[in-house]
Amino acid sequence: MPDGLAALGVGHREVLDGGDHPRGVLRLELLQPLDPGIQRTPARRDQVDHQRQVVHPGVALGEEVSLDPLQPADRLVEQSADLGDLPPDGEHLGAQAVADGCTDLVGDRGLELCRGDRERLDLLPRALQRRLEERGLRAPGGRVRDPLLGAFESDVVHGLPTTLQRPVDTALLDYELPRELVAQRPVEPRDSSRLLVHRRGSDAVEHHVVGDLPELLEGELTVLNDTRVVAGRLRLRRETGGAAEAVLVEEVGPGLWEALVRPARRLRPGERLGEVVLVEHLGGGRWLLRLEGEPSGEPPLPPYIGEPLDDPERYQTVYAREPGSAAAPTAGLHLTPALLARLDAAFVTLHVGVDTFRPVVEARLEEHEIHGERYRVEEAEWSRIAAAGRVLAVGTTTVRVLESVARTGELSGRTTLFVTPGFEFRRVDALLTNFHLPRTTLLALVMAFVGVERTLELYRVAIEERYRFYSFGDAMLVL
């Protein structure tokens, strides 16, 4: 075909029929564009179009397409799917403005499409996820066996698929914090904590106090985790007179607890440590133990807090009801009864385990193993949550409950949901959270909600403005 016709976007095919066209006649037809945002096919396989950005939807993703040096082909072509199989209207492609040529959440160029106005569409995993879940492509046991999903990691809640998330370098969860910004004591009153507000729609940043929360919201239903921290740090004494310590993690049966115990190396099953009898060594400093009576120790404060609490209730939320947590849902520590009365509130329960704060040591975030945590939601509360126009989750633990139920429909159980960048949020529209430690799953969840680079920028602003960090620190509201 003449190059001039090719440049005009003209295609050809042989017409073999007995009608108006003689056998063997070559008929030329104008190609109909599939979408205003998709450019025509490159003139040759070793070229992209003059815009140097677009791959035609008819090109299989498994084919090698030579691109300019800023877009290596082996990073651009990630799936063995056809782009024509994706929604042509871009409804589920997650259109977003692109800064500095970066199109995804982790600074890694993914496969992208481009609208006619040059707005880029980032092909995040959620675009494929909706189709793949509908077609039932997941094999028993939660393992993916279809080549369409080969490049993505999957997560499981109760053995069911949750979301498709792309690999993340753990180094992205690093930031430097001056030691003096680690809060050692809570402020009084609770709602006088500072509040950094980020509005995603306008990308604006504002500075308030938590007491301003009702005026900042726009009709959101506020959902809180009503778990209560167990007084589970037990100072113990061995029969030999040596000191020992146990931190209760979770009650697994009547009087039977999983706990972190030290010194782990010198202990043995059957040994009595005061009101505690060791039952079985579980490895990694963990023991199964039997406790006589109810826990009556100290609040298990995080290790970065070096000062004792004058009032142990300051490590509890004012609405804490269900005992069972090894750590407090710290975003809720800022609320007072008076402030709570001004909010439209609903409650869920997730008992927080100490593994929530365990640092991620693996090179890739998806290689980190997150342990399960027990949760429960009353049917009436979930009905309110499901019907709400917008939902504000107070704390990352509340997010995990809401997104677990939204995926499984199960109102109680144990969740291993791991929220990382690329996650599709189904029932959380706004988030109130504290500032979290580097290389933790909590920070990864915030990055999934806000974006990696934007989260780090907000943390830089918080440090410049001398916000207080971690459990007794200030808070951030993302709308």
**pLDDT per residue as tens digits for the range 391-449:** 999 999 999 999 999 999 999 999 999 999 999 999 999 999 999 999 999 999 999 99
CATH number, domain of 375, equals 3.40.1780.10
Q: Do 158 and 189 fall within a single domain?
A: no
Q: What band does 466 get if pLDDT is binned at 50, 70 and 90?
A: very high
Q: How confident is the model at residue 256 (pLDDT cuts 50, 70, 90)?
A: very high
Residue 303 placed within a domain? no
Identify the residue whose tokens are 């960090």: 469
427 and 315 in one domain? yes
Residue 39 has pLDDT above 50, yes or no: no
Q: Tell me, yes or no, whether 385 and 474 share the same domain.
A: yes
What are the contacts of 71-75 at 24+ separation with CB within 8 A?
Answer: 71/109, 75/108, 75/109
Strand ranges across the sheet with 286-291? 233-237, 243-253, 256-262, 286-291, 276-283, 272-273
* pLDDT-derived band at 20, boundaries 50, 70, 90: very low
Mean local confidence (pLDDT), 228-245: 94
Give the per-residue pLDDT at 409: 97
Predicted confidence (pLDDT) at residue 131 exceeds the cutoff of 50: no
Q: Are 244 and 236 in contact (CB under 8 A)?
A: yes
Residue 304 lies in a domain: no
362/403 same-domain check:
yes
**151 plus 178 within the same structural domain:** no
CB 29 within 8 A of CB 14: no
In a domain, 70, yes or no: yes
Residue 301 falls inside a structural domain:
no
Q: What pLDDT sits at residue 347?
A: 98
Tell me which residue range forms the domain holding 437. Answer: 170-229+310-478
pLDDT band at 244 (very low <50, low <70, confident <90, very high): very high
Comparing 266 with 56, the larger pLDDT belongs to: 266
How many residues would you count in the chain?
479
Question: Is 396 contained in some domain?
Answer: yes
User: Does residue 189 share a domain with residue 97?
Assistant: no
pLDDT per residue as tens digits for the range 65-100? 455 455 444 444 444 434 333 344 444 444 333 333
Query: If we measure between CA atoms, which residue out of 297, 307, 300 comes closest to residue 236?
Result: 297
Q: pLDDT averaged over the chain?
A: 77
pLDDT over 70, % of the chain: 65
Residue 260 confidence class, pLDDT cut points 50, 70, 90: very high
How many domains are there within the chain? 5
Query: 165 near 421, Cβ under 8 Å?
Result: yes
Which CATH number covers residue 260? 2.40.10.240
Helices then strands, each counted (H, E), the chain: 9, 23
160 belongs to a structural domain: yes
Cis peptide, bond prior to residue 359, ω within 30 of zero:
no
85 vs 34: CA distance, rounded Å: 11
Q: Which residues contact 129 (CB under 8 A, 6 or more apart)?
A: 163, 164, 424
Residue 264: per-residue pLDDT: 75
Q: For residue range 367-381, what is the model confidence (pLDDT) as tens digits?
A: 998 889 999 999 999
Binned at pLDDT 50, 70 and 90, residue 284 comes out as confident
Q: How far apart are CA 94 and CA 87, in angstroms?
A: 11
Q: What is the pLDDT of residue 315?
A: 97
Which pLDDT belongs to residue 371?
84
User: Looking at residues 197-219, what average pLDDT do you find?
Assistant: 97
**pLDDT number for residue 166:** 66
Which DSSP category does 312 fall into?
G
Is residue 56's pLDDT more than 90?
A: no
Residue carrying the six token digits 């499901």: 386
Output the six-digit token pair for 165: 């998330």
Query: Is 404 inside a domain boundary?
Result: yes
Which has more pLDDT, 246 or 93?
246
Asked whether the beta carbons of 288 and 279 are under 8 A apart, the reply is yes
Residues 181 and 72 both lie in one domain: no
Looking at the fold, whether 21 and 75 belong to one and the same domain comes out as: no
How do residues 285-320 score in pLDDT, each as one tens digit? 899 999 999 999 999 999 999 988 999 999 999 999
In this structure, how many other beta carbons lie within 10 angstroms of the beta carbon of residue 27? 10
* 57 and 158 part of one domain: no
Q: What is the pLDDT of residue 115?
A: 39
pLDDT of res. 44: 47
CA dihedral 463, 446, 99, 115 (to 10 degrees): -160
Other CB atoms within 10 Å distance of the CB of residue 412? 11
Q: Are residues 159 and 177 in the same domain?
A: no
**Sequence-distant (≥ 6) Cβ neighbours of residue 16 within 8 angstroms:** 23, 24
Does residue 113 lie in a domain region? yes
Residues 263-273 have a mean pLDDT of: 90
